[in-house]
Structure 1
Amino acid sequence: MVFSILLVGSIIVPFTDVSRAASDHGDCVGPGESIQAAIDGASVGDTICIEAGTYEEEVTIGQNAAGETLDGLTLVAAAGQSPVLSGSGTGTGVHIDGAATVTVEGLEIREYGTAVRVEDSPNATIKSNTITENDQAIRDFDTPSHDMVIVDNVIEQNPIRGISVQGSDRVQMTGNHIEANGKLGFRYWFRDLHSGRRRW
């Protein structure tokens, strides 16, 4: 397998605000409500809108409560609002697990072990988020989450690393502001087909 990655433009660019209207998404999750509960009750292709507030939880986008894989699900901030997913220094803020074409947009994700974990989930889009003060920002955990798009995010002050791509091909990263992330702002691993060893 040949791994490829597309980097477009400067790594440090101005942040792009989310401009999608909340009315386009129907009812939103609000403060005191559970984002995970909304995901568990969602259907394939649904959009879950999140209002401003701080949500102290870890969320997984994989299957709903009925066991259906939530392909095409979108998790997006309400228009003009900046909801915060806040952790306790461990765990994962958003885990995309086995669902295709998932979008996470417009959130602030902070103080987790890993902010966004993409695992066996092709065509994921991570867009216009602020990801800060986690150990690590975005990882694919050595799984084939091909055709991932990471665009217009602010990724800073994550003390281990910013973005780590270990097993995914055709990853596109454009317009991200990546700064002050431990030893590495971005790390891309590939597996040597002859030796079987991973290199970066």
Structure 2
Amino acid sequence: MTKRHIAYLACTTALVGAFTGTTPASAAHRTLVVHPGESIQKAVNAAKAGDTVFVLAGTYRESVTVKTAGLTLRGAGPGTVIQPSKKKTKPAPHGKKTGTKTGTKAAVTCLSDGNGICVVGGKNKPLKGVTVSDLKVTGFARSGLFSMGTDRLTVKRVIAERNGQWGIAQEHSTRGVFRNNTALGNGDAGLFLANNVKAEQGATDSKGAVVDHNRLQDNRIGITVRRLRNLAVTRNYVTGNCAGVFVVGDENKPRAGALTVSDNLVVQNNKYCPKTARLPYLKGSGIVLTGTENALVTRNRVTGHQGRSPLSGGIVLFKSFVGAPSEKNRITGNRLADNSPADLVNQETAKSGNAFSGNACRASKPAGLC
């Protein structure tokens, strides 16, 4: 990359010693500007901790891997579009990691794994403080944006559209913030957060991850939270999916749960999706808790869901696919209407300790929950 192709914006901070007259060394961060026709990856490789890679509007046919702590990858808005390379690349088998070592056994190779943007740290040495914002990623075989082994990753104002599996996905990570993103027409979840994509193991503590103010539309599932604890799913608009919000646990310890789903608008998720090895077919599911404990579902508005799947309904409590019960969850202060077979559906026994209170609704299964 030539000097013409990279612009530097130095931001210096100085503290003047009023009494000593001394000034410590300043810390400088750069902005590296990428123009259409140039490589985003080259700019990312040239960046150091604290730098910003600013990608101007245009279409960039590549995958981008970020492995630098504190880096910001920012586009110019929806006009900055990242798409797959025109060169055909066969995705690696699902779950197989390829590439160079980065603290885990091997890092994700973004392009060969079918992902658009990858933010990759180590399992025991997380990549800290990366931000991805203000761009569109579309048409990848797997995920638009995939992150693994990160801490305090921020993803905001990203459009993830028509990717084969997940729009925006994360595993083995803590304290992520996903805010003001849009996920449209992705093959599985628009937003997917998990402890581990493949392994059957207990839920992990996300240490306060936040999924807030996102638009999830026309995916298989709007938001999936799998085997995690201690996070908040708030103020999202979820519509036109087969299922709106899925919180998934199983029999492993610790159990998934101890999280909050609140203040979301979940409307008419009535798309049909066929059954899988883990789940029956999906249609007409608003918010589903399966195999979870101690979750709080509150102040959500859930309307217009119609279906006959075992998971259909406004807010549904259901055993996990291995039969682990949903226990000690609180469903309170929600507004529900026009959901079938019912606004509230509790398929657990009374001994499970799930509590329903203060919900505005007309029909429940069993009766008496409204």
TM-score using structure 2 length: 0.40
User: Residues 180 and 120 from structure 1, CA distance in 2 versus in 1: closer, same or farther, beyond 3 angstroms?
Assistant: same
**Cα offset, 1:156, TM superposition:** 0.5
Task: Report whether the alignment pairs 1:190 with 2:190.
Answer: no
Task: Report whether the alignment pairs 1:126 with 2:178.
Answer: yes
**Cα offset, 1:179, TM superposition:** 0.5
**Cα offset, 1:34, TM superposition:** 4.6
| Residue range with higher mean Cα deviation, 23-32 or 39-48 | 23-32
Residue ranges of structure 1 left out of the alignment (5+ in a row): 1-22, 78-82
User: Residues 189 and 72 from structure 1, CA distance in 2 versus in 1: closer, same or farther, beyond 3 angstroms?
Assistant: same
**Cα offset, 1:100, TM superposition:** 0.9
Map 1:1-200 → 2, pairs under 5 A: 26-42=31-47, 43-51=68-76, 52-57=79-84, 58-63=116-121, 69-77=126-134, 83-88=135-140, 90-112=141-163, 113-135=165-187, 136-143=189-196, 144=204, 146=206, 147-158=208-219, 160-182=220-242, 184-192=243-251, 193=253, 198=324
CA distance in 2, matches of 1:35, 1:151: 28
**1:69–1:99 contact (8 Å) kept in structure 2:** yes
**Cα offset, 1:28, TM superposition:** 4.6
Hey, which bits of structure 1, 4+ residues long, moved more than 2 A? 23-43, 140-145, 190-200
**1:56–1:85 contact (8 Å) kept in structure 2:** yes
CA distance in 1, matches of 2:153, 2:129: 5
**Cα offset, 1:185, TM superposition:** 0.7
Where 1:95 maps in the other structure, the secondary structure is: strand
Q: What one-letter code is carried by the residue in structure 2 that aligns with 1:102?
A: L
**Cα offset, 1:41, TM superposition:** 4.8
Where 1:148 maps in the other structure, the secondary structure is: strand
User: Residues 120 and 41 from structure 1, CA distance in 2 versus in 1: closer, same or farther, beyond 3 angstroms?
Assistant: farther
Residue ranges of structure 2 left out of the alignment (5+ in a row): 1-9, 12-29, 48-67, 85-115, 197-203, 256-290, 292-321, 327-370
TM-score using structure 1 length: 0.71
Comparing both chains, which one has the higher relative contact order based on Cα–Cα distances under 8 Å and sequence gaps of 6 or more?
A: 1
**Corresponding pairs, count:** 167
User: Residues 179 and 197 from structure 1, CA distance in 2 versus in 1: closer, same or farther, beyond 3 angstroms?
Assistant: same
| Residue range with higher mean Cα deviation, 54-63 or 136-145 | 136-145
Where 1:191 maps in the other structure, the secondary structure is: coil
Please tell me the root mean square deviation across aligned C-alpha atoms, in Å.
3.0
**1:164–1:186 contact (8 Å) kept in structure 2:** yes
**2:173–2:195 contact (8 Å) kept in structure 1:** no
CA distance in 2, matches of 1:122, 1:180: 29
